[in-house]
Amino acid sequence: MSGALIDGKAAAAALRADVAEAALTLPRKPGLAVVLVGDDAASQVYVGSKEKAAGKANINGQVHRMPGSSTQAEVLAQVKALAEDDAVDGILVQLPLPGHLDADEVIATIPPEKDVDGLTEASAGALVLGREGLTPCTPQGSMRLIRQVMPDLSGKHAVVVGRSILVGKPLALMLLAANATVTMAHSRTKDLGAVCREADILCVAVGRPEMVTADMVKPGAIVIDVGINRVAEKKLVGDVAFEGAKEVAGHITPVPGGVGPMTIACLLANTVAASARRQGVPVPEKLR
């Protein structure tokens, strides 16, 4: 019997509607600034999607496009100018940056209260310490999808496959904060299949096409596939072998249409939350 699909598109649409409604309640319209350096084709598409989505969510979205030849000093100056702009509530530097630039130094220039991507050391530290702050969008989106199926995670065993600072580590911390028992697995984990089969909630973010197969999934588990990989004939697949896994899982995210749509929706939610805090009003409950 096939597992129920977790519809990320529908969940993202609902969150965007909540964001748009919340934005209208603030004294000032929220502002999101994206810094795009160079002409990477994928980045151009991503930024265009973010700009369009911001407008629909009653957010003032602006894109600062800089040539690929921009120096470190020029990029830092742009980010610092946005940091000092009171009309800007959220700053996002589109990654990857051209190879000659130091992305870590650029990200570190973003004030924590405007770090809507949740990538600064201060944001990571707040997450570790369990303090209020802006969390990375993809892990946040994954948590929203998990809670849609299972609101109370207390005592559940979650396995996170992948230990990146963008997804794996912050997602594990979020699951811990929700009182799940968390195991982190990775390329050096012995008998990965056995570890995955223990999971009530299995989250996979490794960037390897269909690495997790049906025999690695516990019957009835929630499976969150964060991966998106382009294979033969431009087909997109996740890190989980979907066709087999869906016959075992209780609930599973498809690729595409699962976690992906939630990333931009959570970026918008972070922007409105950041704007609310900066304007001294409570963050709307639906965006927490």
Is residue 140 domain-shared with residue 236, that is, in the same domain? yes
Q: Within a domain: residue 225?
A: yes
Is residue 145 domain-shared with residue 193, that is, in the same domain? yes
Marked catalytic residue, from 18, 89, 117, 200: 117
Which whole number is the average pLDDT over 127-133?
A: 94
Q: Within a domain: residue 60?
A: yes
What's the pLDDT at 2?
73
Burial class (CB in 10 A: 0-12, 13-18, 19+), 39: exposed
- 69-124: per-residue pLDDT in tens? 999 999 999 999 999 999 999 999 999 999 999 999 999 999 999 999 999 999 99
Task: Indicate whether 1 pLDDT > 70.
Answer: no
CATH number at residue 81: 3.40.50.10860
Q: Within a domain: residue 283?
A: no
Q: Which residue has the higher pLDDT, 42 or 64?
A: 64
Which whole number is the average pLDDT over 37-45?
A: 91
> Confidence class of residue 285 from pLDDT cuts 50, 70 and 90?
confident
Is residue 148 domain-shared with residue 97, that is, in the same domain? no
Q: Within a domain: residue 15?
A: no
Of 120, 139, 43, 66, residue with least CA distance to 274: 120
Is residue 95 domain-shared with residue 184, that is, in the same domain? no
Q: Within a domain: residue 229?
A: yes
Instruction: Specify the long-range contacts of residues 257-261, CB closer than 8 Å, at least 24 apart.
Output: 257/7, 257/8, 257/9, 258/6, 258/8, 258/145, 258/224, 258/225, 259/8, 259/138, 259/141, 259/142, 259/145, 259/224, 259/225, 259/226, 260/8, 260/228, 261/8, 261/9, 261/11, 261/12, 261/13
Verify whether residue 50 is a known catalytic residue: yes
Is residue 205 domain-shared with residue 239, that is, in the same domain? yes
Give the 3-state secondary structure of residue 185: strand
Is residue 87 domain-shared with residue 172, that is, in the same domain? no
Here the tokens at position 207 are 């960037």
Q: Is 144 annotated as a binding residue?
A: no
Verify whether residue 246 is a known catalytic residue: no
List the domain range (segments joined by +) for residue 55.
27-111
Is residue 198 domain-shared with residue 145, that is, in the same domain? yes
Count CB atoms within 10 A of the CB of residue 5.
16
What's the pLDDT at 101?
98
What's the pLDDT at 231?
87
Give the 3-state secondary structure of residue 72: helix
What's the CA gap between 127 and 130, in Å, rounded?
5
Is residue 79 domain-shared with residue 143, that is, in the same domain? no
Q: Is 163 annotated as a binding residue?
A: yes
Q: Within a domain: residue 86?
A: yes
Taking the CA of residue 164 as centre, how many other CA atoms within 13 Å lie in the half-sphere pointing to its CB? Answer: 14
What is the biggest distance separating any 2 CA atoms in the chain, rounded to whole angstroms? 57
Beta-carbon contacts of 41 under 8 Å, excluding residues fewer than 6 positions away, are none
Marked catalytic residue, from 18, 78, 89, 94: 94
What's the pLDDT at 269?
98
Q: Within a domain: residue 9?
A: no
Give how far Cα 30 sits from Cα of 90, 132, 163, 238, 272, Å: 8, 19, 33, 34, 6
Which whole number is the average pLDDT over 152-161?
A: 98
> Confidence class of residue 30 from pLDDT cuts 50, 70 and 90?
very high
**Residue 238 and residue 255 in contact, taking contact as beta carbons nearer than 8 Å:** yes
β-partners of residue 37 are 66
Verify whether residue 279 is a known catalytic residue: no
- 251-280: per-residue pLDDT in tens? 999 999 999 999 999 999 999 999 999 999
Which whole number is the average pLDDT over 2-14?
A: 94
CATH number at residue 253: 3.40.50.720
Q: Is 164 annotated as a binding residue?
A: yes
8-state DSSP, 113: G
Q: Which residue has the higher pLDDT, 135 or 232?
A: 135
Is residue 141 domain-shared with residue 245, that is, in the same domain? yes
Q: Is 118 annotated as a binding residue?
A: no
Number of domains in the chain: 2
pLDDT more than 70, % of the chain? 100
Q: Within a domain: residue 102?
A: yes
Of 267, 266, 261, residue with least CA distance to 32: 267
Is residue 83 domain-shared with residue 145, that is, in the same domain? no
What's the pLDDT at 127?
96
What's the pLDDT at 32?
98
Is residue 95 domain-shared with residue 210, that is, in the same domain? no
Is residue 159 domain-shared with residue 254, that is, in the same domain? yes
